[in-house]
Structure 1
Amino acid sequence: MLVLRPQMMFRVLVAVVAGTACNVGGWVCAGKIELSGGGQLTGDVKAAKKPDGSTTHAVVKIDDDLSVAIAGTHVRYTVVAEDLEEYRDRAAAAGQDAESQFQLAHWCKLNTLLPQHRFHLTRTIELDPDHRLARAALGYIRHNNESGWISAETLRRDQGLIHSSKGWVLPEVLAARNQADEADKQSKLWIKKFRRLHANAVRGDSEAIAEITAIADPMATQAIAAELLRSRNAKSNLRSLRMIYVRLLGRLRNGGTVAALVELGLNEPDELIREEALRQLTEFGAPSAVATYVPLLRSSSPGQVDAAARALTFFVDPELAFAYVDALVTEKQSQVQVGSGGTQAGFGNNGVSGMSQGASVFTKTSSFKHPAALQLVKAIAPGADYGYDETAWRQYFAALRNPYREDMRRDADE
């Protein structure tokens, strides 16, 4: 007897002929193996199973002179001849009863007789058109038509939807997803390529610098932004190269570049790089920058308030006057421990001894003045200077918005 190895199994598919399966009453009684890569083998099937029910290997006897051994990793599911023998008996007993046909369909599914499973579901609704569970298993739903049922696929197509790997969606949604997937793929390719270019540019390779400067593909945005962040704490001085990256982001002008420049404008320690990023934002990303920085004026972190106010000096807006004033002086609370802790023993002046706790914790409130916030306030009120007096500034801006009219009382009397 010839036994073929798994890597040879596809070569023997041509040996599977109709004569190897026997038909009894219209039902195939030979066993079957469906291959994970597509296709199937039929014949006398014997399968070895693991405790979890998966197949370790299977052997298909196609005829007296030819058998095929297949590793379990290549088997999607198997049907042995004994299963089909039991199936024939169950099929004969089901008769013309819809519920019996449905129960048989369920048994077929449990025994991986998938074509038979669908056949008996179809037979169920032929006998009982309103069999709810069989209809649902076949993908039908209730609908206002002559039969009262319609396939979910037909309904979705009538609604203008198309099927994708993630379900039914509108064509434009699928197109957007495909575009996003392609963009993500291209972006990842750029990350690898840009790291190579960056490494060469750091070594002074003029061709690499020229290639970087000439980049016009928006898909390179993530790669450039990532390298800007990675090189922030580089040991060598990369200011000139990083400045090229900032200006390159400014030319690309997309959502990713705005996000990268907004982060640089807030957290970049190199003043020249930071200011260049903010200058780029004034040309095309100001709304996003302001929307990010203004809420940070209320931060509990003095450093973050300073950074936000400093960045906002590039986007001065009189409408934000009261937000600027509120950031002139901020407070921060911290827990302070007094004493070394533990229990201490001692004697009073009268000679009486006692025990006391050696530490206590209380809340300390510290005030912080923010020069950048004062700079903002003065920028929109060049003729006034109340220093860090928030109350005076609020009164000043309130008076500007609601000027006092001397003749208001006279007008009311008239």
Structure 2
Amino acid sequence: MYPEHIFPNSRLALSVPLLLTLFLGLQVPGQCDLIKLKQGGEIRGKLQRLTPESGEIRIIETLTGGRIAITSQQIEFITNRPLSVEEYESRSKLIADTVEAHLELANWCSENHLTSQRHAELEKVLLLEPDHAKARAALGYTQRDGEWMTRDELMRKNGYIKYKGRYVSTAELELLEKNEADLAEERKWAKKVKLWLTLMNSNNAQLQQEGLKNIQAIKDPFAVSALSRQMGKHENYLVRSLLVITLSQITGDKPLRPLAELALTDPVQAIRESALQALSRRDVSQAIVYFIEALKNRSNLIVQRAGEGLGVIGDESVVPELISALITSHTYRIRVPDTTSTYSFGTNGTFGNTGVVLPPEIEAGLLAGRYPNGVIVLPSQQPRVPMRTVSVRHSHQNEAVLSALQEITQQNFGYNQRLWQLWWSSTQNKTGIVPVVQ
């Protein structure tokens, strides 16, 4: 019926060179359809509208002017993207892995208004040359005390957070979010909670029970601030566990932030899990924002916990953020012998240059993201030679983030962020021409 070629099911695959040929044959502005095939290939061009005569056959006009017919059963998804994105992907596959080549492509991205792709190329520059000043500046980094930091990281380090586009202290944030009547109510609770915690810490069993009973009975949302401030970082894990139970019985949005902080940062796994379960039983639309923000945390450990949390309490609205956090880069400061060599993670996952290797337990900890960013890790046996501190940047594949994506979407593209982004784009396509054939 059709003069175009129909791919057999058993041999359906397009090579990268063929895709590049299909794309590079036509360089015009506009939009382009991308068909992802179930057996691993891609076809790019302009998808023709379905007609009653076409049945299960989809026709796509390639960027070189040819026409290809494909059965709907062979298609995994279809999405639509600007041609400039297609050209970027083609160029990125062809360039050399050098600082100069990535900088040149980053400039091309800037000229074509491809912001995220430009950032990706600049990040590749930093992998090759971590102290490249122009790339750092373009990505918004500044150098403080020998360490590169973004403006957000610098402000957070100085105790400021962003509120409606400007940086404020945590104390100022509380004032901005509350009126005087609210603050007066919270001050009353601060005195009560402090007194009851003191009773719980006494040597008198009767007073201990009195303090415990009073805290367990709290249900007023205005008590949340005092509870979280005085119990959230308490050295006794039983007190923090009591905080989770107490917050769980308070209605409204006020308990969401402290419960999220416990789920993300508490050192005791049982407390993190109970806080997460408490959140999962509520309307968490307001709490999700704390986990999304944590996906950008400097500590890979917090990123993993955020992914786990979103897998439990998240919905499809968090998919783009999870895709962006599938692979994250983190910086570690490590003491090494003072040589002229450059230190970095090797392709086999080891750290160091020839003749200099960290102890296995240190390497394993870094690779697993167990060390907070900025920590200085000292080798167990320091050689009697001059030492210096170096910054090492390592990219982590975040298993918890991938699990969250799989749980929410029932899809699995592994750590291939590009395929995830293509699939997500296809689900958001409102043109009505996207077939989903299982």
Greater relative contact order: 1 or 2 (C-alpha under 8 angstroms, separation 6 or more)? 2
TM-score (norm 2): 0.41
Higher strand fraction: Structure 1 or Structure 2?
1
Larger radius of gyration: 1
